[in-house]
Each structure stands twice: as C-alpha cells, then as structure tokens.
Amino acid sequence: MNVDGSNLTRLTNTNATDWNPAWSPDGTKIAFTSERDGNAEVYVMDADGSNQTNLTNDPGDDVSPAWSPDGASIAFTTNRDDNLEIYVMDADGSNQTNLTNDPGDDGVCSWSPQGDRIVFGTDRDLNTEVYVMDADGSNQANLTNNAANDGIPAWSPDGSTIAFSTNRDGNHEIYVMNTDGSNQANLSNNPAAEGVFSWSPDGRWIAFETDRDGDLEVYAMDADGSNQVNLTNDPAPDGYPSWTR
C-alpha cells in the first residue's frame, strides 16, 4: 500500500499463510515466510509479486527474513537445530550458516545500517532480552537487561538507536534505546498491545501493528512516538508492516 494506506494490492494469492514480508534494500524484491510447502520457509519474490521462489528448502521452520544493507545476504530464524537459531544465507539461498549457536531460542533480528552488527531477541537469560552481535556471530552481548520480555528489535536507518517491543509496562509497547542499551524510552504509550513494527527508510516514521481498535491494524507514528495514525482501517487483521524506499 501507499504510505497513507491507499492502493492496497495483493501480492501472493495462495491458499497457504504468507507473512513476515521484508523489502530488499533496493526495493526490487520482497523476502517473506510461507507455509505453502507444508512447513514455514523463506521465499523471495519480485516487488510486483512475480517469481516467487523458495530460498531455504529445509524440513525445519524458517521465518523472519532480514536483508543485509547491501542486499547480498538474508538473516532468518530457524528451528532446524531443535531450538531457534539465527542463520544467514546468500540472497539466492546458498551458504546457510548458523550465527548464534546457543541452546536458548534466538529470534527476530535486524542488521545495523553498516551491516557489521545484528541485533536480535533471545530467551537465553530465562526471559526474552535484546542482544547484539557482530555480523559473523561473534561478540554476543545483552543490551536490555530487564526482568520483562524484550524482543523484536529493529535498528534505526541512521544507526543511532534500536527500537524494540517490551511488556515491561504490563502490555506490549514499542521502546527505543541507544545502540549500547542506554536511554530506554517508551514510544507508543498506549494501553493496547503493539506488535511487529518497521522504520521508514529515512528514519522519520515507524509503522507498527496494534489492536487498539479492537482488531489488528497497521498504524504509523513519528520516530519520537507522536502523531499516531491508523493506516489500514479494515475489519480483517492487518500486520507485519515493512517499508520500501
């Protein structure tokens, strides 16, 4: 859809569930998760929905694709090792490699704009925390260190902050912090639950899913949390927003 919510266009059109869309940095392709092969796999398609291709081709469930800033690699979450790990592969699906290698469950991830680090959620500390690591999986460190569950992190386009989801206020809110974990602040400040979100490429806005209207809708807000507006306004559940340039 357009950024104002107009011109909704269907891209996938299968009987299976397709979700987790992620635009490539150049805006020509969309990676996504699909269950059309009987389990969750990471697919890619052209921006108009054509040329849908399975990239992961593994008996495990592969979800939540995240493009590297140069478009050469895609990180994703998989349970092929009997727990959730973050893998990386070339954009054509080759060279699938485990980055996290931890007995805990490691989930949704996001690349730094320079492509040298990856931020991710993990339950290795018995609750979910936001961690960061180098792009090769080394130097894994906890950023949030909070008794609540913190996850679904996303790096800002200018590299200065990381947004994430947390239930530390009794409901799920979108927070932001510096890349070293300092200055954690609530952006969404609403009694409803806010879920998956996405930065605009210029860093001025954040699109997010919320159930504040009684059903799941996609909203957008300024990067400081102001001017929260409903984009989808449809009785069906709408979620998993992802921006293109």
Q: Are 117 and 110 in contact (CB under 8 A)?
A: no
d(C-alpha 164, C-alpha 155), whole Å: 9
Which neighbouring-strand residues pair with 121? 130
> Region 115-120: what's the mean pLDDT?
98
d(C-alpha 150, C-alpha 66), whole Å: 19
d(C-alpha 115, C-alpha 19), whole Å: 24
pLDDT in tens, 190-227: 999 998 999 999 999 999 999 999 999 999 999 999 99
Which neighbouring-strand residues pair with 130? 121
d(C-alpha 64, C-alpha 69), whole Å: 16
DSSP state of 144: -
3 state SS of 109: strand
User: What percentage of the chain carries pLDDT values higher than 70?
Assistant: 100
Residue 96, C-beta contacts closer than 8 angstroms, at least 6 positions apart: 56, 58, 87, 88, 89
Q: Are 79 and 100 in contact (CB under 8 A)?
A: no
Judged against a pLDDT cut of 80, whether residue 160 lies above it is answered with yes
User: What percentage of the chain carries pLDDT values higher than 90?
Assistant: 97
Q: Count CB-CB contacts under 10 A for residue 237.
A: 12
Judged against a pLDDT cut of 90, whether residue 244 lies above it is answered with no
Residue 245 pLDDT class (50, 70, 90 cuts): confident
Q: Are 118 and 99 in contact (CB under 8 A)?
A: yes
DSSP state of 28: S
Edge-to-edge strands, sheet with 173-178? 150-155, 161-166, 173-178, 185-186
> Region 69-84: what's the mean pLDDT?
97
pLDDT in tens, 7-56: 999 999 999 999 999 999 999 999 999 999 999 999 999 999 999 999 99
Fold type of domain 18-230: Neuraminidase (2.120.10)
Q: Which two tokens stand for residue 71?
A: 């478009």
Give me the chain's average pLDDT, please. Answer: 96
d(C-alpha 119, C-alpha 155), whole Å: 7
Q: Can you give the pLDDT at residue 76?
A: 98
Q: What is the pTM of this model?
A: 0.94
* Residue type at position 43: Y
With tokens 């989801």, the residue in question is 165
Residue 114 pLDDT class (50, 70, 90 cuts): very high
> Region 73-88: what's the mean pLDDT?
97
